[in-house]
Homo-oligomer: A and B are copies of this chain.
Amino acid sequence: MIRFECDYTDGCAPEVLKALTETNSLNTVGYGNDEFCGMAKEKIKTVCKCPQAEVHFAVGGTQANTIIISSVLRPYEGVVCCESGHINVHETGAIEATGHKVLALPAVNGKLTPRGLEKYLSVPTNEHEVKPGMVYISQPTETGTLYRAEELESIYAVCQKYSVPLFVDGARLAYALGAKANDVSLPFLAKNCDIFYIGGTKCGALFGEAMVFTNSDLAYNIRHMIKRHGALLAKGRLLGVQFATLFTDDLYTELGNRAMALAEKVKEGLKEAGVELYYDSPTNQIFPVFEMGALEKLQKTYSFEFIADLGDKKAMRICTGWSTKEEHVDMLIRDIKEAV
């Protein structure tokens, strides 16, 4: 089975594995107070051109989301996101488990709009309602779309107008950065939000996310929050080693670019084969609609993720990732053309 269902089917990039292997028998202090974490933090601040930031690590995305959101919100506040936002649909209530409501707004192409957000935030609330205390977006979004620089800027302006911090979930950030359509660089992102995280798990690391508090006031006592959420890794250096490697010699960029080149190839192939798309995504998640017969044929060799049942057709998800092999993409395109 050749797996295209997601971008975390493999271990980690060879460079990361090499670094983990080389440091394996070193003796260091625990809980992320080691020199590798220190190095990784410096590298990230440098690449983001954000020297005042505070950087902390978590093992996975659910952890990063709950730590950040529950650390910033007051008990009676909620986090605004769009209806299709990851924290609204795919976290088994992890946000609510911290006592906070997810305030879901309608999405346009999987995104919050500055206008929709402003309309929502401008309505005064009273003590019978949850107060919006943070805005959450992801780059790319749950459906693979991208916020343009201009959109991000406008959304951040709205957030600042209403004094509500903006948090950007970057679980797949490498694939946003590598997308042809992207015009949001890391430094631009850092300037246009209060907190974001750089995804490692889906982008070349074995596991790990780097949380960047560009507004370092919001990181007050954050290590207490990380521990309380079971996310203070005993061997914290594992996260430092991985992120230091990903941000050496532009590896993070390179991994994203590689995946996006193959994603473009898949999209091109689907287009040539006349396969329609359920959502049009500029990043590494691709949502083809297959007729049942063709799909069944393909699923003998390839795994995809199920997205929606459309009667006699099904929308599926194909992901490329840093580990995708070009020969597998070529085979897939050939087989799709044959099957449909």
Q: Say whether B75 contacts A71, CB under 8 Å.
A: yes
Q: Which residue of B lies closest to A70 (CB)?
A: B75
A49 at the interface (CB under 8 A from B): no
A20 at the interface (CB under 8 A from B): yes
A130 at the interface (CB under 8 A from B): yes
Please name all residues of chain B whose beta carbon is closer than 8 Å to the beta carbon of A207 when the two chains form the complex. Answer: 59, 233-235, 238
Tell me the bound Cα distance from A12 to B104 in angstroms.
Answer: 39
190-228 of chain A: CB within 8 A of chain B: 201-202, 206-207, 221, 223-228
Q: Say whether A129 contacts B71, CB under 8 Å.
A: no
Q: Which residue of B lies closest to A88 (CB)?
A: B101
Q: Which residue of B lies closest to A17 (CB)?
A: B24
A100 at the interface (CB under 8 A from B): yes
Contact of A28 among B3, B75, B91 (CB under 8 A): B3
A277 at the interface (CB under 8 A from B): no
Q: Say whether A235 contacts B221, CB under 8 Å.
A: no
Q: Say whether A92 contacts B24, CB under 8 Å.
A: no
Tell me the bound Cα distance from A322 to B161 in angstroms.
Answer: 45
Q: Say whether A234 contacts B60, CB under 8 Å.
A: yes
Q: Say whether B27 contacts A10, CB under 8 Å.
A: yes
A131 at the interface (CB under 8 A from B): yes
Other A-B pairs, 9, CB within 8 Å; known A60-B234, A76-B92, A127-B223: A59-B207, A62-B230, A75-B228, A76-B224, A76-B227, A90-B129, A96-B101, A101-B102, A207-B238
